[in-house]
Structure formats: C-alpha cells, structure tokens
Amino acid sequence: MKEAIVVGVSDSPSSEAATRWAVQRAAALKLPVLLVHAVDDRWAYDAIGYNEWIRESGEKFLVTAKDRAEKVEPTVKISTDLVSGGAGYALRKRSKTASMVVIGSGHSWAGGSLADRALQVAAVAKCPVAVIGEHDMTSRHGVLVGVDGSEESTQAVAFAAAEADREGQELTVLHAFRTPDPWVDRGVPHGNFFELVTEEERVVLAETVAGLADKYPDLVVHQNLETHMRPGEALVNAAATARLLVVGSRGRGGFKRLLMGSTAHAVLTKLSCPTIITRIQPVKHSK
C-alpha cells in the first residue's frame, strides 16, 4: 500500500482548508488519505460518562469530515482514525509511515500566528509537514524555496523543484543573509569586503540550483539574493503572493539540540501561504 497523506483534523476552518489541500494533492499523486482526529481525554473526569460522550462526538465528526473530503475528490481512498491523547503525539507516531502530514494553521486569518499545536507537529514529525491556512489562492502563483547553502536546504530545493514542475509553476530560490550595518566597515580591511561576501553568497545560491535545468528542462527557475532582511522575514514577505513555500527543517546555523531551525520557525509563526517543512534525509554535520 502506498504511504498515505495523514491529515490532522479538527472542527476549524483552517482544518477544512488543510483537508481540501491534502485530498487534492492525494488525487494528483494517486495516494490514500488518513484523517486523524485526537480526543484528548487524559484530564477528563469520567464520573458521568464524559469520556464516552467525547469519543462518540469524535466519531460523528470523523464521519462528517470524511464525507466532506470525498466530495472534494471522490477518487481518493479516505480512511479515518480516532485516537486518544494529544494530537501532536498521535501525528508524530503516524508520520513515521506517512508520505506527508498535513495540518491547519489553527487561525482564521491570513498571516495570523501559528497555533502551538501545529508548530509542535511541524517540529517533531518524521516526514514533510504541510501547514495550511485560509489563504485565497485565486491570484497566487509560483513555488518559493528558502536556501542557505546547507545540505538540508539543497534537499528542500529538490523537493520544491519537483513540486513546481508537477504543478507547472515557476520556482523561485531565495537566499537571504543580512550584510552588516555600514558602521561595521570601520576597521575592516580595504578592498570592497562586503561586496566580496555578497559575491560568495551569490555563488552559494548558484551552486544550490545547479543541475535543476538538466532534471527539469521546462522548469523556469529564478534566483533571488536578499541582503537587507533576515531569512525568515524575507521568506514571509516573498511568500505573500506564492502558491507554496518550502523550507528545510534545519539549516547550517541550527543547533543540534533544536528540533526545528529558526527560519522554519519564523515562517510558520507568520504563515504567508501553504508551507511545507521538508524532512527528507538526516544530515550529519561535522563538529
């Protein structure tokens, strides 16, 4: 059986948007979908049968959610799973055998802060995680991917390029680093130091996209080097008109003890468009 797209569902508008996005993707890739609804009864007092009542409510909700999903894409095989406990734990467990986990942003306004639960799932899942908000996709176009020269970001580019080629969209590869303020120039050796640094980063950007033209000859690729904003801020701004944003779970500046890098965290806390956090192959960094 093909690895399913797992969707964490709840009774919220962003969850409905996430389900629609997931089943449309599943139809294109010919994958099954698993709708997971968590009933967190760990702290419930069951003297009056409260636990039984919330489980029955959860089962009814899943029937409704499955019915909605089947109407969006009748060809997709959809199954449901009602679990006890926290949603984060349940989705992390199922991510081990999933092709992707899809969750709603948890808020009803575009660009709103990401709910803690969605952020937790994106940090701990063992497969790529798509976080979907209630964005109007009518006039949006293009796939955007953030890079920093790390091997993780190179993997993110490979993922984003495949998505853009499949969807017939153009790909924009953005590398953002903030040059020091002008006053830092004092004491720096002469010879256009900052221009040299910028040129080195331009080379990093070019090397990141090397080989894409051979693999995807019809894919239009744009390279964007941003020197005035931090990576998270630059990606949030650039993604305002994109159909999809892709970032690696960690980059070259990440501490090993952190589950998710600062750039991934930044773009998820201000969700500009549907965003995928890739987690393809673990990379060991030299000390």
What pLDDT was estimated at residue 162?
Answer: 97
Query: Where do you find CATH 3.40.50.12370 in the chain?
Result: 1-134, 138-287
What pLDDT was estimated at residue 43?
Answer: 60
What pLDDT was estimated at residue 111?
Answer: 43
Distance CA 145, CA 174 (A): 6
Whether the predicted pLDDT of 253 surpasses 70: no
Burial code of 117-131, b = ≥16 C-beta within 10 A, e = fewer? bbbbbbbbbebbbbb
Percent of the chain with pLDDT over 90: 51
Tell me if the pTM is above 0.75. Answer: yes
pLDDT tens for each residue of 28-47: 999 999 999 988 766 655 55
pLDDT tens for each residue of 149-178: 888 888 999 999 999 999 999 999 999 987
Q: Mean of the pLDDT values across residues 255-278? A: 77
CATH topology of domain 138-287: Rossmann fold (3.40.50)
Q: Mean of the pLDDT values across residues 195-211? A: 86
Three-state DSSP class for residue 53 = helix
CATH topology of domain 1-134: Rossmann fold (3.40.50)
Please, which residues bridge with residue 171 across strands?
143, 221
Q: Mean of the pLDDT values across residues 38-64? A: 78
pLDDT tens for each residue of 174-199: 999 876 655 455 555 555 667 777 88
Distance CA 156, CA 160 (A): 6
Distance CA 254, CA 247 (A): 13
What pLDDT was estimated at residue 108?
Answer: 41
Distance CA 200, CA 194 (A): 10
If phi > 0 it is left, if psi is from -120 to 50 it is alpha, else beta; for residue 192 that is left
Looking at every residue in the chain, the average pLDDT score rounds to 84
Neighbours of 271 (CB within 10 A): 27
Distance CA 286, CA 262 (A): 20
Q: Which amino acid is at 15?
A: S
Distance CA 270, CA 232 (A): 9
Distance CA 62, CA 229 (A): 43
